[in-house]
Amino acid sequence: MNFLDLIWLIPLFPVVGFLVNGLIGKRLPKSVVGIIGAGAVLVSFIFSAGAVLQLAQLPAEERSHTVRLYQWFDAGAAQTLGGQMARFQVDFGFLLDPLSSVMILVVTGIGFLIHVYSTGYMHEEDGFYRFFAYLNLFMFSMLTLVLGSNYLMMFIGWEGVGLCSYLLIGYYFHKKSAGDAAKKAFVVNRVGDWGLSIGIMLIFVSFGTIEFTAVGEAVREGLAAGSFSVSDPLFIGIALALFVGATGKSAQLPLYVWLPDAMEGPTPVSALIHAATMVTAGVYMVARSNFIFQMAPEAMAVVAVIGALTALFAASIGLVQNDIKRVLAYSTVSQLGYMFLALGVGAFAAGVFHLMTHAFFKALLFLGSGSVIHAMHHEQDMRKMGALKNKIPITFKTMAIGTLAIAGIPGLAGFFSKDEILWKAFSNPQGHVILWLLGVVVAGMTAFYMFRLLFMTFYGESRVDHHVEHHIHESPKSMTIPLMVLAAGSVVSGYLGIPLWLGGTNAFEHWLEPVFEPLPITQAAIVEHSHAFEAGMAALSVMVALAGIYLAYRKYYKTSYRAETEVASYGAAYPVLQNKYYVDELYDGLFVNRVKDAGVGLWKFDAKLVDGAVNGSASLTVTGANGSNWWDRWIVDGIVRFIGGFIKTASWPIRLIETGYTQNYALVMVLGVLIIIGYALWGGQ
Amino acid sequence: MVATHHYLFLAAALFTIGVIGVLTRRNIMIVLMSIELMMNAVNINLIAFSNHLQQVNGQIFAIFVITVAAAEAAVGLGIVIAMFKNKETMNINEIDLMKW
Amino acid sequence: MLELALFYIFGTIAVVSAILVITQHNVVHSAIFLAGTLLSVAGIFLALNAEFLAGVQVIVYVGGILVLFVFVIMLIAVERSTFERQFNRQWKIALITSAILIGELVYVVYQGRDTFVLAEPAVPLVQGAAGNSQQVGMGLYTTYLLPFEIASILLLVAIVGAVVLAKKKTQTE
Amino acid sequence: MDFFRQHILTIVAFWPVAGVIVLVFLNKENKTLIRWWANFVAFAGFVISLPIWFWFDFENSDQMQFIQKVPWIQNLGVEYHVGIDGISLLLVMLTTLLGPLALLSSWDAIDNRLKEYYAFLLMLQTGMIGVFISLDFFLFYVFWEVMLVPMYFLIGVWGGSRKLYAAIKFFLYTLFGSVLLLLGILALYFAYPGMAAQQPSLAAEFGTAHTFNVLAFQAMGSFLPAGLQWWIFLAFFVGFAIKVPMFPFHTWLPDAHVEAPTAGSVILAGVLLKMGTYGFLRFSLPMLPEGTKAFIPLMITLSIVGIVYGALVAMMQPDMKKLVAYSSVSHMGFVTLGMFALNPNGLNGSIIQQINHGISTGALFLIVGMIYERRHTREISQFGGISHVMPVFAVVFLIMTMSSIGLPLLNGFIGEFTILMGALQANLWYAIAAGSGIVLGAAYMLWLYQRTMFGTLDNPANQKLLDMNFREIVTVAPLIIMAFWIGLYPAPFFKAVEKPVNKIVLKVRPDFFQGAPQLNAGQPAVPAQGDAR
């Protein structure tokens, strides 16, 4: 079977699952719903794996396969900036290349595991079928996003995942907080989409096409022909516009605010959408647009700085959060910052590598936390946990692996990818030592808060409610098996990209090379460093991580947890961190309430002034009408009535005759007859 | 033999009585009856002359007059009924809408 | 002499009845006296050799029109009107006018009385087998056929008109 | 069949009136019969309009087709002249589709004066179709005015609490615009013989006599003095802008919508508003190219202000129907923005967006109507958690919300994105400013959805609400299908409008396509990637 030409089926299978579950799922037993939901994704995974394997067999330069289904739309002629005519036409097409193959494997693979997990986790829920329908719709959108052959196809998925995120965050729609969070997520994402759509339009008017490959070629040709130059404001503009989109979807400063709130959704959703796949869409998009970003080093610098700052910012908030899912959410934001740091310094492959490893261990951590929450009867506050190690051993062990991986302990996936990013941030021409330093600090903080989570949850003395304590139990197999698979992935996935200094080949980077081929731009020469130096740097970052772990060990393992001591140890910083630097309040004050005020103000303006003008002119007309009515009545009609009145008055003698009595008239008639007879008798003589 | 002018005097008397009735009575029924009287007076005249001139035309005209009288009586009484329904009165003076 | 006697008897009854017709308070009485007048006039017709007309007078006037009057009186008669003032305010002027009228009429006839005497025929109206009815019929259906038909239409219209006027109004209208 | 084919526009236009004539003779007590008959007439009207779509020659979509031309008032040069091109094709089809749905939606909602109600709706249908098919300016004006009357009565008789105020406001406001429109028409009418005398090409094609022929006026547009064009454009602008409605002229819309019965709102939003934009497209742009150019800055500014303003005001509305009404102002701002970007992308998108707006906003009004029928209130604060009791309704509402805020694969996206693309080609800042409308659109629609559908079902009045019944599903189903059709495969729609649009662009900007490669619809300017392999 030629899977390469069937890649368009990959997003389609989940659609089938969505339709079946959405339309008749209510009447199906839960087991069937689960099988349909997970099965559709499994089939997609099989097709993805087949397609990727066949792609891998092609020579490296031919690893780009486009399947064009039909022309989606053709909105007519347009003038490009170069004065050329082009047609704004968009194909419904799918593109499989090394980048999208990594993405579809991550999405379908981890997606499948999370579907399986959900059959266990969501088993008690009434809206089971609805949940799986949404999940499948999400899978469709996400796969369209990463498989689309042009920017608008990507945009379909981009908006589609936004919708699914909206639906899934709002899954517990009876909770107001869930509804608020869902709306917040969608609207904040929309702000990003605003930028993204402007970027896409700019791409079209610049190159006359929005096909990824065609745009890439156009950039190369333009560069070769000298019609494009590096740091052209146009490219900076496009790159920044696209990056605005990325900050929205991937929760970077300043648009990260929706992601922590998105934890209102069910935990598998947090794992799938808000950790492993959807939030990495921004990373994917920037990586996909690498040819544009390479043309705009200034924009790359912005990406790197934003990424590093986001990493630091989110990590610092994560230090003091008490909700187990919120810690992970801020961790996600922070790790995404890492990825953008990598992209910003030109290490696209490193960014994507971290995207992949992060997908494994963060999905694992979320699912593990879900397992904990499941065991604790929907208690998410870590202050009410503790000493769960022996009660839910599988969850504990897998989560420990995930924690070690994210902390960057050598031998696990996180180490390879994170170290790659830090090294590139230091060594790449676009990199800077300050960026590296930020990255290292964040690494230490990450290790600290993740171990804080681990210790607070599984060690120490139990702070669990007595009612809950008796019921704590390990989760069913449908939940633990995905955990174990993901734990294995969190270890193994790193070995795809063993760096050169460890004697590896960095296979992952090679695989992506056709996509991230550097443009022929003259830039600062790459400073060569010895492998030993690189190893030293890696050791340094590991040392920092270990220091973070030790600190957490001192604070949360050796001494039993006391909220007051924790608050005291941060001093004045604690309320700031606990309240997330008051950013939500700031945004509310600066934007949300201002927009609402503007709405109210304009509404009043509309009612009073605009409509007032209308009504005013109406009442003016009425006043005028009254005036002319007066004129008409007293002057114009007055003359008429005067004439009438005059005649009436003057006619009184005649009126006397007109009595209205029939017999009067008859009498007069008789008199007339008399006169006629009299005249006949005597008058004629 | 009775001279024709006797009949004419009789007719004149009846006619004048009819006129007096029409002009003075307030009861609409009697007004109508008075009109019948006047018609009869005219008929007497017609037939007297018919007899006088030895021509049958006068009698034929009398028949037409009787026809008209019948029609007039029918319509007139219809009006009386309609008027009575509307105004609950027989008084001709109350039908004075012609006065403005 | 018989004719003279008939004339005076019927003439007197007719005039007296007519005066009573217009002076009665009660409409029913007026109607009865009207019948008297009409019958007397029928007698006058007989005296004038108009037998057919006399018959018609009795049948149509007394049998038809008068009965109609009586029906209407029965339908709507209001006792109240009996006790009201019977004559209107112009009765004096009306009487004077009427007096002048009769004066003029009498004067006219009186002036021409000689012509009437001369014209008096010695023989019956028409000789031969044809009677009065036949002569009237001949006239009506030959020379006066068209007016006769028009008169019939007039009657029809009058009937319809009377029905419409007197018809009881239904709920829907 | 030939007869039918040649007279199809007339038949489609006057079929509803024929139905009204029969309707008049039905017993007014027999409400079931009246309902069935009126719905049958409307549905049959849609069915007989379908051949237009299939017989339409898409290859020559810029040519007027199904033309019928009969002298009418010969002294004035007035003709009964009808015909459609690709633009009017879409609008006629939209009208015949929305009409039956509007009728169907009032099956249970209207119970008093049924006969008159359906008669007015059907007459309205004739008026609207007539507006879109008229090729004689006089005829157009007649239909344009005729259609006001049934709408006036629909709002004034079957409306809400302030129906008289709304109806009179609607009527007078629109009439005010119409008068200026009439002045503009007359100016063109009297200018024509003079122009024809000077321009032989004009005289050769359309004669030198007075005429109301729209095509003649369009041809005259190239020669008309710019000063005159400016004034006529101003007159047309007021007439059409009130109808659209554009920003400062929009206040009749919320009132009319709120007070109108559901079917009235659907027709009002779905079709009536399009008459204004259609007027711009058919008359202002081709007849007055110079005037158009002079007014572009004003039009763009008003459009963008309308987009943002409408969205902001919509956000804070406590009344659902008013919210949707203000969202109409915002969406119609997109339509006019695309139109006055004056390039093929913008205009194409503008027309597609007109259809989209008819579908999505029509459906939203149907949805609001359904909930109003159940609860007799439209206060958003009265609702919450409706998803619990009305799941099907929630799904339909969600789809239409998404369609309205421009989710890809649904119709709204195609229109909005193409318009923004056109606006961006005119000026980057237009697109950026208008793009904020998309963000705000998401905000107010989702906020509405959240407040009504999500949350706890704490209002006892809402706890026993019934989900959508079969009739209601049938009412919205065609709109959902259309939303997906346009979202997934809008090619036929773009194909219908592209050539007429290019014609308009060429008229206003004759140098637009100069030096351009051959422009054939369907032939990719850039080779498709997949075919190469």
Task: Catalogue all structural domains in chain B, each as residue range(s) with its CATH number.
Answer: 4-91 (1.10.287.3510)
- pLDDT tens, residue by residue, B35-83: 999 999 999 999 988 888 888 888 899 999 999 999 999 898 888 888 8
Amino acid D525: pLDDT: 41
Instruction: Spell out which residues of chain A touch residue C93, defining contact as CB-CB under 8 Å.
Output: 667
Partners of A73 in beta bridges: A90
Partners of A381 in beta bridges: A323
Instruction: Spell out which residues of chain A touch residue C22, defining contact as CB-CB under 8 Å.
Output: none
CB neighbour burial string for A561-575, b if at least 16 within 10 angstroms, e if fewer: beeeebeeeeeeeee
Angular region, A661: left φ>0, alpha ψ -120 to 50, beta rest: beta
Amino acid D478: pLDDT: 92
Task: Kindly identify which residue of chain C lies nearest to residue A681, measuring between CA atoms.
Answer: C108
> What are the backbone dihedrals phi and psi of residue A64, each rounded to the nearest 5 degrees, phi first?
-150, 110
Flag if D491 and A73 touch (Cβ within 8 Å): yes
**Range name among A616-620, B86-90, B95-99, D222-226 with the lowest pLDDT average:** B95-99
Among the partner-chain residues B19, B96, B98, the one whose CB lies closest to the CB of A670 is B19
Flag if C41 and B43 touch (Cβ within 8 Å): yes
**How far, in Å, CA of D328 to CA of D368, rounded?**
14
Instruction: Spell out which residues of chain C touch residue B14, defining contact as CB-CB under 8 Å.
Output: 14-15, 18, 37, 41
**How far, in Å, CA of D142 to CA of D151, rounded?**
15
Instruction: Spell out which residues of chain C touch residue A661, defining contact as CB-CB under 8 Å.
Output: 88
- pLDDT tens, residue by residue, A241-300: 999 999 988 888 888 888 888 888 888 888 888 888 888 889 999 999 988 888 888 888
C127: pLDDT strictly greater than 50: no
Q: Is ipTM strictly over 0.90?
A: no
Q: How far is A599 from chain C (nearest CA, A)?
A: 58
Residue with tokens 């002079």: D294
DSSP notation for A138-207: HHHHHHHHHHBSBHHHHHHHHHHHHHHHHHHHTTSTTSHHHHHHHHHHHHHHHHHHHHHHHHHHHHHHHH
Amino acid C117: pLDDT: 60
User: D190 or A506, which is more confident?
Assistant: D190
Instruction: Spell out which residues of chain B touch residue A647, defining contact as CB-CB under 8 Å.
Output: none
D165: pLDDT strictly greater than 50: yes
Here the tokens at position D520 are 């054939």
**How far, in Å, CA of D464 to CA of D484, rounded?**
32
A667 touches chain C (CB under 8 A): yes
Here the tokens at position D388 are 């619990």
Amino acid C78: pLDDT: 65
Flag if C108 and A677 touch (Cβ within 8 Å): yes
Among the partner-chain residues A660, A666, A670, the one whose CB lies closest to the CB of B97 is A660
Query: Which has the closest alpha carbon to D47: D22, D86, D16, D17?
Result: D16
Average pLDDT, chain D: 87
Flag if A667 and B23 touch (Cβ within 8 Å): yes
Among the partner-chain residues A655, A659, A663, the one whose CB lies closest to the CB of B23 is A663
Amino acid D359: pLDDT: 92
Average pLDDT, chain C: 82
Instruction: Spell out which residues of chain A touch residue B31, defining contact as CB-CB under 8 Å.
Output: 663
pTM over 0.90: no
Task: Kindly identify which residue of chain C lies nearest to residue A680, measuring between CA atoms.
Answer: C108
Flag if A670 and B100 touch (Cβ within 8 Å): no
Sign of CA dihedral A46, A49, A51, A53: negative
Q: How far is B64 from chain A (nearest CA, A)?
A: 23
**How far, in Å, CA of D258 to CA of D122, rounded?**
21
Amino acid B98: pLDDT: 64
Here the tokens at position A57 are 């067999």
Amino acid C170: pLDDT: 58
Among the partner-chain residues B19, B24, B95, the one whose CB lies closest to the CB of A662 is B95
Question: How big is the B-C interface in CB pairs under 8 Å?
Answer: 248
In this structure, the number of other CB atoms found within 10 A of the CB of residue A500 comes to 11
Chains that touch B (3 or more CB pairs under 8 A): A, C
C24-29 average pLDDT score: 86
Residue with tokens 């202002």: D284
Amino acid C153: pLDDT: 92
B79 touches chain A (CB under 8 A): no
Q: How far is C112 from chain A (nearest CA, A)?
A: 12
Q: Judge D/B contact: 3 or more CB pairs < 8 A.
A: no
**Range name among A534-538, C131-135, D312-316, D352-356 with the lowest pLDDT average:** C131-135
D512 touches chain A (CB under 8 A): yes
**How far, in Å, CA of D328 to CA of C66, rounded?**
82
Instruction: Spell out which residues of chain D touch residue A147, defining contact as CB-CB under 8 Å.
Output: none
Among the partner-chain residues C94, C98, C104, the one whose CB lies closest to the CB of A678 is C104
Among the partner-chain residues D316, D388, D526, the one whose CB lies closest to the CB of A599 is D316
A670 touches chain B (CB under 8 A): yes
D473 touches chain A (CB under 8 A): no
Task: Kindly identify which residue of chain C lies nearest to residue A679, measuring between CA atoms.
Answer: C104
Amino acid C156: pLDDT: 92
Q: Cα dist. D520→A74, D246, D517 in Å?
A: 11, 34, 9
Task: Kindly identify which residue of chain B lies nearest to residue A665, measuring between CA atoms.
Answer: B23
Instruction: Spell out which residues of chain A touch residue C108, defining contact as CB-CB under 8 Å.
Output: 677, 681
- pLDDT tens, residue by residue, A503-517: 777 778 888 888 888
**How far, in Å, CA of A342 to CA of A353, rounded?**
10
| Interaxial angle between packed helices C67-76 and B28-53, expressed in degrees from 0 to 180 and rounded to the nearest 10 | 180
Q: Cα dist. D211→A556, B79, D179, D195, D215 in Å?
A: 92, 62, 19, 12, 10
Among C92, C97, C105, C110, pick the best mutation site for testing chain A contact (most A Cβ within 10 A).
C97
Here the tokens at position D166 are 């709304």
C16: pLDDT strictly greater than 90: yes
D517: pLDDT strictly greater than 70: no
Amino acid D526: pLDDT: 41
Amino acid D521: pLDDT: 38
**How far, in Å, CA of D457 to CA of A342, rounded?**
47
Residue D12 · residue D44 · CB < 8 Å: no
**How far, in Å, CA of C38 to CA of C41, rounded?**
5
Flag if D516 and A85 touch (Cβ within 8 Å): yes
C26-54 average pLDDT score: 89
Amino acid D522: pLDDT: 40
Q: Judge A/D contact: 3 or more CB pairs < 8 A.
A: yes
Query: Which has the closest alpha carbon to D346: D487, D240, D483, D501?
Result: D501
Flag if D525 and A72 touch (Cβ within 8 Å): no
Residue B30 · residue C30 · CB < 8 Å: yes
Angular region, A571: left φ>0, alpha ψ -120 to 50, beta rest: left
**Residues in chain A with pLDDT < 70?**
522-527, 684-685
Amino acid B42: pLDDT: 93
Flag if A180 and D385 touch (Cβ within 8 Å): no
Q: How far is A650 from chain B (nearest CA, A)?
A: 15
Chains that touch C (3 or more CB pairs under 8 A): A, B
In this structure, the number of other CB atoms found within 10 A of the CB of residue A682 comes to 10
> What are the backbone dihedrals phi and psi of residue C169, each rounded to the nearest 5 degrees, phi first?
-75, 135
Instruction: Spell out which residues of chain D touch residue A209, defining contact as CB-CB under 8 Å.
Output: 526
> What are the backbone dihedrals phi and psi of residue D199, each rounded to the nearest 5 degrees, phi first?
-105, 105
